[in-house]
Structure 1
Amino acid sequence: MIEFIITLLFIVAPIGLTIHEMGHTGIGLFSGSKRSVLTIGLGPPIIRIKLHKLHIIIHALYFFGGYSSNEKNSGFSPLQKILISLGGPLANGLFASFLIMTTRSFVNEPFIDLLIMFNLYLAVINLVPFRLGRRKSDGYRVLQTMFRSAG
């Protein structure tokens, strides 16, 4: 049981969160972002990578969540905001689907199963509209953008 928790916390969750945030920044860059920042974890930064418009920051407590931001001079259109919000869950769903299609027939590995399940969890739970304090789910952001642009 302790191996499961350690694997989930220190390996699987950071991989899934990185894929999720890469989905947001990828769509942001595709939508004309002048600067996209992908941040993983909390605490002091230990790794900083700059790849043209993409900035990646990994903090010492890399297993404590992640977030991303995209900046564009003219701002993003409502459709672009919706697509950026959906980019994270889409990336998790595509990654899980890729693992299912490429590993299920020849690999019976609990680690892969955990990676698939966690990414499917991230894909689904982030589409559910909810707000916890100042944190908003991707689904919440999509609805918020839709209602703002409709009114």
Structure 2
Amino acid sequence: MDMYLIVYLIFVIAPLTTLIHELGHVSGSLIVKADYIRLTMGYGKRPFTFNFNQIKFIFYPFYFIGGFTTSERDKPYKNSEIVWVTILGPVFNAITAWLSYFAFEFYPSEFLQLLFWFNIWMAIVNIIPFKINEKQTDGFTILKLMIK
């Protein structure tokens, strides 16, 4: 793999895929009518923030080091609503993979191929239930809710 593709993967594809994943959770939160939603990308000092309705977007300088979304509502969430919010992250990645696959058919490029494979990876890994320290996948969250 060329060096420019590695740089592209780290600084464009990985954060874009993470953002797509987190926007899935944001969409789920909007569906269940969350009062407050916060999407955070990366780590560091002095973030760039902006609000859009009840959604607060926070982007840190090291935007390529992951992301997470939280949402709150006065009325407690039902387990089925949490499943909706949780599952839409991997679903958005699967849809993006599917769209990038078809785009690749018309405009073949290594960039679209990376976008496809990274979104496939993100969707599959996040639906497999496992936990490492305090981090857990969406699949683990769903499994916990189903066995309650």
Superposed displacement of residue 19, structure 1: 0.2
By how many angstroms is 1:46 displaced? 3.0
Change (3 A) 1:54 1:3: same
Matches within 5 A, 1:32-111: 32-101=33-102, 103-111=103-111
Contact 1:43-1:59 at 8 Å conserved across structures: yes
Q: Secondary structure at the match of 1:105?
A: helix
Structure 1 CA distance, aligned partners of 2:109 and 2:128? Answer: 29
Q: Deviations over 1:67-113 (max 9, x none)?
A: 00010111211101111110100000011112223x13321110010
Whole-Å separation in 1 of the counterparts to 2:96 and 2:76:
29
Q: Distance in 1 between matches of 2:68 and 2:20?
A: 11
Contact 1:29/1:35, CA 8 A, preserved across alignment:
no
TM-score of the aligned structures, taking structure 2 as reference length? 0.95
Give how far 1:2 is off: 2.1
Residues 3-18 of structure 1 mapped to structure 2, 5 A cutoff: 3-18=4-19
Deviation at 1:47, TM superposition (A): 1.5
Looking at structure 1, the residues matched to 61 and 46 of structure 2 have their Cα atoms a distance apart, in angstroms, of: 6
When the two chains are superposed, the root-mean-square deviation of aligned CA atoms in Å is 1.0
C-alpha deviation, 1:147, in angstroms:
1.2
Structural mapping, 1:106-121, within 5 Å: 106-121=106-121
What is the Cα deviation at residue 45 of structure 1?
3.9
Contact 2:129 2:137 in 1 (8 A): yes
Residue type matched to 1:9 in 2? I
Q: Tell me if the contact between 2:104 and 2:112 (Cα under 8 Å) persists in the aligned partners.
A: no
The aligned residue for residue 125 of structure 2 is 125
Aligned sequence identity (%) = 27
Q: Report if the CA contact (8 A) 2:21-2:90 is conserved.
A: yes
Residues 29 and 70 of structure 1 are in contact (CA less than 8 Å); yes or no, is this contact kept in structure 2?
A: no
Which runs of 4 or more aligned residues in structure 1 lie more than 2 Å from their structure 2 counterparts after TM superposition? none
> Could you tell me how far apart the structure 2 residues matched to 1:2 and 1:45 are?
30
Structure 1 unaligned segments of length 5 or more: list them: none
TM-score by length of 1: 0.94
Structure 2: which 5+ residue stretches go unaligned? none
Query: Number of matched residues?
Result: 147
